[in-house]
Structure 1
Amino acid sequence: MGALQLEWREDRVIATLNRPETRNAIDQSLVDELHALCGELEDAPKILIITGSGGVFASGADIAQLRERRAADALQGINSTIFVRIAALKMPVIAALDGYTLGGGAELAYAADFRVGTPTLKIGNPETGLGILAAAGASWRLNELVGEPLAKEILMAGRILNADEALAVRLITEIHPPETLLAGAHALADRIASQDALAVQITKEVFHLPRERHPQADNEAQAVLFESPEKFRRMTAFLERKKR
């Protein structure tokens, strides 16, 4: 059994980090399996739910491997490359977070479009305490997610947020008991799946464009959707319902 357990459904895939002996620490094997998964989802887009096994999302990068890495390894962007690829998937990504979500595990969660958690969630970036920085996305994604003052406290002072604190700053959007965490993630996925897939994909793409690309990019994207058969089908159904 690999480091990543996959459950494929018609409109989504559930990926479970499964390295219980290291509290799901992100190592090279897990990175390789995530790349393989991204390859499949780039070819056939589906909603992705990422979670962890054993009451832990991911305790961080694998410190035993990380300790041996040198400058050349850092320049390869081993973790940052896969997290960028996950963030760029066409359909939304939901991170279902239980327990420790630290270091590289937190950076994986930041790459998702949505995050839901349990009451035992502990999320943050203790990298500076280990003599490194959070270089796989936290140094810029976290500022966008929670704002500069809190991001700096997490990144430079090692602050770890609990579930209530993460919810208060909207780093997570929902809290569920551990036994219903995946059900909560699936409920969110159901809401996404009920939308038009093409409209969702284009909305995600436009949302992440630089400010200077708007509003022209919005107009061009809307032009594509205005010609979509699904737009006509859904709007016709809406108008028919109003007549009843």
Structure 2
Amino acid sequence: MAYELLTLDRRDDGVAVVTLANGKVNPLSRELLAELRQAADELAADLPGAVVITGGDRIFAAGADISQFGGPDEAAEIGPAFHDTIGAFADLPRFVIAAISGYALGGGCELALGCDYRIASEKAVFGQPEILLGIIPGGGGTQRLARVVGPSRAKEMCLTGRQVKAEEALRIGLADEVVAPEELHDRALALAADVAKGALTAQAITKRVIDAGLSTSLDEGLALERDGFVEVFRTDDSQIGVKSFLEHGPGKAEFTGS
């Protein structure tokens, strides 16, 4: 599929790389959101081993295209478009990594929050500055941010519009790793490649159970885990992994992904 505002590269190591390419600041316009949704659908139809989402060196994504804002009617379209697109990547049964160089603000921060793991450059800056426009985050920021950094910190960030640099982002859990700018993409690709050669069906079950358990009680989450634990033993990789461990020790299994 041809894209104008992003690139989708499938590498030989099983990693798919989605790179935002909508001008210098990568605004998440309706058009870019539509292309991102198409890319998510393409990945879901032919799953890679892992996914990396990245943007420009100076700006990961600066947020929604404010020129497309209007009144309540436009908001009623833009919010669902963000939720649908980011949710499509979050729902992929694969490890989705955000590689963040520079600014990830507003919708850019929300896109990063929709990923499973965030690797940030030392120059990365996060924020939900919508309040400075007299509005609120509409792409999942009020919900995903609170689940990642806790409600108090999420309220402080969303109510002040304060930007958070990489070191603080790591400390509060908004970033999972911080690396030198020149190491960012190599680190993200290396982690993705390592995951991509693993037990992919087991990974998908693990991600599903963790995500579903976050919105329920502990007892219900443990029930989901029990069901997933039984389900995973129906996979070929479970047999390969157990057999390899018994014969050769840990970490030497060659999984098929099934």
Q: Pick the TM interval, shorter chain.
A: over 0.9
Alignment partner, residue 253 of structure 2: none
The answer on whether the counterparts of 1:20 and 1:54 sit within 8 Å (CA) in structure 2 is no
Q: 1:228 aligns with which of 230, 235, 238?
A: 235
Q: CA–CA distance in 1 between the matches of 2:28 and 2:234?
A: 43
Letter in 1 for 2:46: A
The answer on whether the counterparts of 1:110 and 1:142 sit within 8 Å (CA) in structure 2 is yes
Give unmatched runs, 5+ long, in structure 1.
none
The Cα shift of 1:200 comes to 0.5
Q: Percent identity?
A: 32
The answer on whether the counterparts of 1:20 and 1:53 sit within 8 Å (CA) in structure 2 is no
What does the per-residue CA deviation read over 1:206-237, in whole Å, with 9 as the maximum and x for residues that have no partner? 11113243222212111111121211111111
Letter in 2 for 1:43: A
Counterpart of 1:219 in 2: which secondary structure? Answer: helix
The answer on whether the counterparts of 1:90 and 1:204 sit within 8 Å (CA) in structure 2 is yes
Alignment partner, residue 64 of structure 1: 67
Counterpart of 1:57 in 2: which secondary structure? Answer: strand
The answer on whether the counterparts of 2:105 and 2:127 sit within 8 Å (CA) in structure 1 is yes
Q: 1:214 aligns with which of 214, 221, 228?
A: 221
Give unmatched runs, 5+ long, in structure 2.
251-258
What does the per-residue CA deviation read over 1:40-92, in whole Å, with 9 as the maximum and x for residues that have no partner? 122222221110124210111111112xx321232231212211121111112
Alignment partner, residue 186 of structure 1: 189
Alignment partner, residue 45 of structure 2: 43
The aligned runs of 1:3-82 (5 Å cut-off) are: 3-10=5-12, 11-21=14-24, 23-46=25-48, 47-66=50-69, 69-76=70-77, 77-82=80-85
Q: CA–CA distance in 2 between the matches of 1:74 and 1:80?
A: 12
The answer on whether the counterparts of 1:31 and 1:79 sit within 8 Å (CA) in structure 2 is yes
Structure 1 stretches of 4+ with a deviation exceeding 4 A read none
C-alpha RMSD of the superposition: 1.6
Alignment partner, residue 110 of structure 1: 113
Q: TM-score, normalised by structure 1?
A: 0.93
Number of matched pairs? 240
The answer on whether the counterparts of 2:15 and 2:189 sit within 8 Å (CA) in structure 1 is no
Alignment partner, residue 198 of structure 1: 201
